[in-house]
Chains A and B, each alone.
Chain A
């Protein structure tokens, strides 16, 4: 099973790199959806007890949410917003990719120093999760559009989920489903907010949101 998990994890790293380098919003949404589907596979690959239904149910719910519902919500926000379909980053694409490479190296180094008590899955889980987290945070701060910030948040959430799948067993299913429900509502509310931001400002650039501060100047 470890071979499977490794393949999926490497695919997750690749999707993160695609996100850093791609310029079309639509493509970014699809890539994040693909990452969600890959996580579903990871849940299946990581299951210990073949007879229990827990992993298949979770994989099904999370794949359905991340692979179908979220892209649909985000595409709808994108269509309603009717904005230019480009990402418009603060940091250029090639520089983003370069920074991504540095993140990967850093994550591998850091993961080597974290003593894992009982490696349940592939040893690649920790570095991949760390790398994907960093990419998510980087996307939030380096991209201009509110919609891209939502995507960054989703990538961050994916990374944490991967961490949980790889390292933790025995979280009750209710809690896992609760986490997914929260995530769903979060994306739903953020989608509505993106829609309103567009209506209010005629674009979805989050960098226009800078009226509120303490000292004008």
Chain B
């Protein structure tokens, strides 16, 4: 089952590159997404057997992240069909500077999208640390061409920064792998295999100094990819310049994959009795990310950049949750789920707004509720969900993390956390409510515009999931989250 989860998107990706006609290619994209989602649902029913000598296996955490990735990809694929139909080809005018540009060939775009899914799936099923590294680097390489879909200088700049910063960051994680191998090597010559279950079982015999050094390198390496401040500099550029459907996947699915890398090594640290070492660092990085995001969200003039900084903030929140440990870890994992669905939904809606208004400026967009009502409603719902208002999912997870901080008597952390959340709420609410209400500046824009079903329904479905998670967490999800939290100590 696991090999076919990997093979479906990979084979479809290669095939998509060679399909000449747009119609069949888009059908292939949706078909592969549906097949992948179907297989993912099946893994909840039938426990998939480990493959390849235990290197590939699906544990509770991996399955949770695989499900998020697969669900988001299905939504993005459906949305992508409508997007490519409207904006896939032909010369168009840049929204910021007014020059003409072309898009990358749609076949390349679709192929990279599917290979990106294959790489992310590999991240979630890897149990070996070396393989995990290979998979994370593969996600970078598959997604770089996606960011350069619009062929102009700004997206090229974003792509270059993304490629270079993430590659260098992930190179450090490779060094972390080697350090971990040194930590696991024995005096006698028999070493522990670098596979998660083996490492956890043999954690008592690991060399602590090297394990700690390895954790630091993993944190910096995968933290770069995850967008933890101060290593987040590529993130706002890539998210604002990529097509919205790609931004949704980058923010909702890719950041989680990088998080998984850090979580895996924290699992080993916890098993070796060194949980506290990592937790202190995670709390620090978490609060710093939230603070940096708060500064840049206030007065942000570009709404896609604002969403990108919001991703930095939420990566900070869930890092903080994992750093607090115990109930906080549960909250952090739950928050990973909530954030993914909410942020992907918001990026998809942002794409609709961008298509209609041809502007990324928060000041120029007015009256979204009037012009594109469905998108406007989802945009407003998204605001309240992402800033952690009840009754949406993020409220629950953010509250759990706050409670964990208070229960541990860490008032300083709790107060800083609340202040930062409040500041970010004000910053985002000002911008987003301003966009939703009022009347468009340009009178020609004021008429109600047509909204294709495929550009609204996927986002609405994601919003429904966020609402559902706020009022009711299905028992299977709760068990998976609790398993994940227990593994992290």
Contact = CB atoms under 8 A, between A and B. Distances in A.
A118 B141 contact: no
A189 B167 CA distance: 12
Determine chain B's interface SS by DSSP, over half rule. helix
A189 to B, nearest CB: 6
A69 to B, nearest CB: 16
A217 interface: no
A5 B148 CA distance: 43
A196 B156 contact: yes
A118 B187 contact: yes
Interface in B203-219: 207, 209-210
Chain A residues touching B, majority SS:
helix
Interface in B342-366: none
B403 interface: no
Interface in B143-165: 144-145, 148, 151-154, 156-161, 163-164
Contact of A189 (B131, B161, B163, B182): B163
A160 B178 contact: yes
B6 to A, nearest CB: 13
A3 interface: no
Nearest to A179: B134
Interface stretch (B23-31, B233-241, B371-379, B392-400): B233-241
B300 interface: yes
Contacts of A174: 131
Contacts of B236: 212, 214
Interface in B162-197: 163-164, 167-168, 171, 174-175, 178, 181-182, 185, 187, 189, 191, 193-194
Nearest to B296: A214
B157 A168 contact: no
B130 A178 contact: yes
B137 interface: yes
A109 interface: no
A179 B174 contact: yes
A117 B185 contact: yes
B48 to A, nearest CB: 20
A160 B174 contact: yes
B240 A117 contact: no
Contacts of B209: 115
A156 B153 contact: no
A168 B163 contact: no
Contacts of A157: 171
Nearest to B141: A185
B67 to A, nearest CB: 25
B130 A171 contact: yes
B163 to A, nearest CB: 6
B367 interface: no
Nearest to A149: B164
Contact of B171 (A117, A160, A197, A201): A160
A84 to B, nearest CB: 20
Q: Which of B137, B145, B209 has the most chain A CB within a 10 Å cutoff?
A: B137
Contacts of A118: 185, 187, 189
A168 B160 CA distance: 32
Contacts of A193: 144, 148, 156, 159-160, 163
Nearest to A150: B164
A133 B157 CA distance: 25
Contacts of A140: 164, 168
A157 B241 CA distance: 28
A175 B189 CA distance: 20
A211 B157 contact: yes
Contacts of B154: 211-212
Interface string B54-65: 010000000000
B264 interface: no
A182 interface: yes
Nearest to B137: A182
A138 to B, nearest CB: 12
Given A163-B175, A172-B130, A175-B131, A200 B181 contact: no
A153 interface: yes
Interface string A190-213: 100100110011000010011110
A58 to B, nearest CB: 13
B148 A196 contact: yes
B36 interface: no
A200 to B, nearest CB: 5
B138 interface: yes
A116 B209 CA distance: 11
Nearest to A133: B175
A159 to B, nearest CB: 9
Given A118-B187, A186-B163, A201-B153, 14 more contacts: A137-B168, A167-B181, A168-B182, A170-B181, A170-B191, A172-B55, A172-B128, A179-B174, A182-B138, A189-B141, A190-B163, A196-B151, A200-B153, A212-B240
13 contacts: A117-B182, A118-B185, A118-B189, A149-B164, A160-B175, A164-B174, A164-B178, A170-B181, A175-B130, A175-B134, A200-B152, A212-B154, A214-B236
Interface of A: 115-118, 133, 137, 140, 146, 149, 153, 156-157, 160, 163-164, 167-172, 174-176, 178-179, 181-182, 185-186, 189-190, 193, 196-197, 200-201, 206, 209-212, 214
Query: 6 shortest A-B CB distances, which residue pairs?
Result: A175-B130, A178-B134, A209-B157, A168-B181, A212-B237, A182-B137
